[in-house]
Amino acid sequence: MKIKLASSYGFCYGVKRAIRIAEEHPGSSTYGPLIHNKDEIARLKERYDIGLIESFEEAEKTDSIVIRTHGIPKNELKKLKAEGKKIVNATCPYVTTPQQIVEQMSREGYSIVIFGDRNHPEIKGVVSYAEDPRDAFVVLDPEELEDLPLKSKVAVVAQTTRKPADFLKIVGALTLRSKEVRVFNTICNATFENQDAAAELAREADIMIVIGGKHSSNTKQLHSICKNYCDESHLIENETELDPAWFEGKELCGISAGASTPDWIVQNVIDGIEAIVRDDVSSEE
């Protein structure tokens, strides 16, 4: 069986930047998981003593805080700074952009529509930058727009890891009901590239392995895209989740990885698949 990597996969610029920042501040703690990958979080803890804060109350008791790639709510960041905490901001620049857009557009009197998951930390942070949170609406489907009390002018942004095609559906629905729609495509370029590469590989593979955190939005999107073209698509966090039965009779195994998946985990998965294939060959002999 042949193993083929997608032409674009794994760590994006924002994640690489956040990891580097954390490594440069050993002994600090991240407010929320720095990235959506528990194995990389464990590595940072073991090698750099990077702790993990799960709540704002914990953050208030900590002196040196690294802000995660997804960012945190504006009021919390402001309060921590006011309390004199050492703040190391590792928020991805691609996440900072929709925060700034929402802040500016709401000041100019626009209703805000955010395409994304309201429970995702990135979106919670972005919403907090609206002048009036009651005039900022988070949606996933065009149908959710129907009963919203939107003003005549609307500004729309997207969660950085969503599918562009789905974002266009939201934009299309807004243009039919609002007089003025300002559209800001805040989906990350790395997301485009990884998704396109995964789709291309899934079309030719008879099994796809997508590597990344089970709670990672962009990884779940990759898995969903791969399933569209390859029924035998599996989402795993590391090599321990590989099932030898998946590879029986397969000729081409494609591999993609989410933006929070480091190369060392990808290599461990490749090594694990190769070991499974070797064992199958040996048993046949």
Pairing outcome for strands 29-31 and 51-53: parallel
Angle subtended by helix axes 217-229 and 189-204, to nearest 10: 30
Question: What does the alpha-carbon distance between residue 231 and residue 24 come to, in Å, rounded to a whole number?
Answer: 42
Please check whether residue 210 is in contact with residue 236, taking contact to mean a CB–CB distance below 8 angstroms. Answer: yes
Q: Which DSSP string corresponds to 32-99?
A: S-SSS-HHHHHHHHHHH--EEE-SHHHHHT-SEEEEPTT---HHHHHHHHHTT-EEEE---HHHHHHH
> What gap in Å lies between CA 215 and CA 100, rounded to an integer?
26
Does the active-site annotation cover 122? yes
Coil, strand or helix: which one is 157? Answer: strand
Of 40, 60, 83, 122, the catalytic one is 122
Catalytic residues: 122
